[in-house]
């Protein structure tokens, strides 16, 4: 059956309600939600789906609270699905001092907990089969210096799509922001993540830690009222069993506004990585309502120019032109986006009218 033929083959009916009590510094809420499907759901034969939802209907009961004191806030929620399995989150944010704040967050989602519209901070998706603890801190030790970071550790008590056994992972990030002057600022950022991934060798599957390291240096200099310069160097490292990769990306941005109605963003980037696993993502300015964070791997260069022009108060014109050279390849991309050769040129525009 094609996706077109499969469209609207299963319907869903929803019902629910939410109410809360509010006091001076305390709030308490309760909810109930019910879902019914037109056809029964089945998990199939995959082991990692053994705890997934089956049947035609499900309901959830939940309570949540928030306590806001002078310098500390507590919040939490607990939910129960039709099969009696629990999902719990509990956190706090503590503003001990204007120069120091700390947050902590605990989550527990039973492997059999079922919620279709819940959304919570977690490593996995679906708010099930995970126990974890997150903590973050922000410190301003001296003027013009800010240090921030977080540490997250999590455990999957049941197998997942990417593992063959219960497993544990962690994620760590730290960043130092420096404001050297009103015109010059920079930051240093490092991140290390270790998460379990399955690997099959000679017909035998086992879990190994997939380790990724990211290091970034970013500087911004306001050269004048019309021009700003941004420079970045980023390193990526990857290790999984016996596979090791590394690489880097460097770019230079020029933001230029010759007059109030015209703004221009120009970038030149060079990248060199060992492969896709050491790819590096970077944000690009784009047209209105467009969002672009492309990834770069292999060896190549990227140039783009983005323009925004306001000829009148009711008309805005956008234009983006880009060129990417990907050395050593005969084609890249996939599906309808595949490009023959080792380079790609794109030109896109948008005209926006206000009535």
Going residue by residue through the chain (355 aa), what tens digit of pLDDT does each one get?
556 666 667 788 899 999 999 999 999 999 999 998 888 888 778 888 888 888 889 989 999 999 999 999 999 999 999 999 999 999 999 999 999 999 999 999 999 999 888 888 888 888 889 999 999 999 999 999 999 999 999 999 999 988 999 999 999 999 999 999 999 999 999 999 999 999 888 888 889 999 999 999 999 999 988 999 999 999 999 999 889 999 999 999 999 999 889 999 999 999 999 999 999 999 999 999 998 999 999 999 999 999 999 999 899 999 999 999 998 888 877 777 788 888 999 999 999 999 8
Give domain status of residue 238, yes or no: yes
Q: Reduce the DSSP state of residue 275 to 3 states and report it.
A: coil
Give domain status of residue 44, yes or no: no
Q: Report d(CA 197, CA 136) in Å as an integer.
A: 26
Q: Report d(CA 302, CA 304) in Å as an integer.
A: 7
| Count of domains observed in the chain | 1
CA-nearest of 248, 159, 245, 154 to 194 is 154
Supply the range of the domain harboring residue 297. 223-355
Give domain status of residue 299, yes or no: yes
Give domain status of residue 124, yes or no: no
Give domain status of residue 215, yes or no: no
Return the bridge partners of 76, or none: 65, 90
Give the length of the chain.
355
Give domain status of residue 315, yes or no: yes
Give domain status of residue 340, yes or no: yes
The set of long-range contacts for 190-196, using a CB threshold of 8 Å and a minimum separation of 24, is 190/214, 190/215, 190/216, 193/169, 194/169, 194/170, 195/123, 195/169, 195/170, 195/171, 196/156, 196/162, 196/163, 196/167, 196/168, 196/169
Give domain status of residue 298, yes or no: yes
DSSP alpha helix (H) spans, the chain: 3-6
Q: Are 305 and 285 in contact (CB under 8 A)?
A: no
């Amino acid at each position: 059956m094609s996706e077109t033929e499969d469209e609207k083959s299963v319907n869903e009916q929803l019902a629910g309600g939410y109410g809360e009590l509010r006091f001076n510094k305390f709030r308490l809420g309760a909810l109930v939600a019910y879902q019914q499907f037109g056809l029964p759901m089945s998990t199939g034969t995959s082991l990692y789906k053994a705890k997934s939802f089956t049947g035609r209907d499900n309901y959830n009961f939940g309570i949540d609270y928030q306590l806001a004191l002078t310098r500390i806030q507590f919040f939490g929620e607990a939910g129960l699905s039709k099969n009696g399995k629990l999902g719990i989150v509990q956190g706090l944010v503590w503003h001990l001092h204007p120069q120091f704040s700390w947050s902590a967050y605990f989550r527990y989602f039973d492997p059999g907990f079922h919620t279709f519209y819940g959304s919570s901070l977690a490593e996995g998706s679906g708010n099930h089969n995970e126990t974890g603890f997150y903590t973050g801190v922000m410190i301003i030790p001296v003027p013009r210096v800010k240090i921030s970071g977080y540490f997250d550790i999590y455990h999957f008590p049941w197998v997942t799509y990417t593992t063959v056994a219960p497993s544990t992972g962690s994620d760590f990030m730290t960043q130092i922001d420096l404001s050297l002057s009103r015109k010059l600022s920079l930051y240093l950022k490092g991140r290390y993540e270790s998460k379990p991934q399955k690997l099959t060798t000679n017909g035998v599957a086992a879990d190994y830690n997939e380790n990724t390291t990211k290091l970034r240096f970013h500087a911004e200099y306001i050269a004048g009222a019309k021009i700003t310069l941004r420079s970045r160097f980023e390193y990526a490292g990857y290790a999984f069993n016996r596979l090791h990769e590394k690489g880097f990306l460097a770019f230079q941005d020029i933001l230029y506004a010759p007059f109030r109605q015209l703004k221009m963003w120009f970038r030149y980037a060079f990248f060199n990585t060992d492969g896709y696993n050491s790819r590096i993502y970077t944000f690009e300015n784009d047209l209105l309502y467009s969002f672009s964070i492309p990834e770069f791997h292999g060896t190549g260069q990227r140039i783009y120019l983005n323009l925004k022009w306001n000829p009148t108060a009711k008309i805005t014109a956008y234009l983006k032109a880009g060129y990417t050279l990907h050395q050593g390849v005969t084609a890249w991309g996939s599906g309808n986006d595949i490009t023959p050769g080792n380079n790609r040129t794109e030109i896109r525009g948008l005209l926006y009218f206000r009535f």
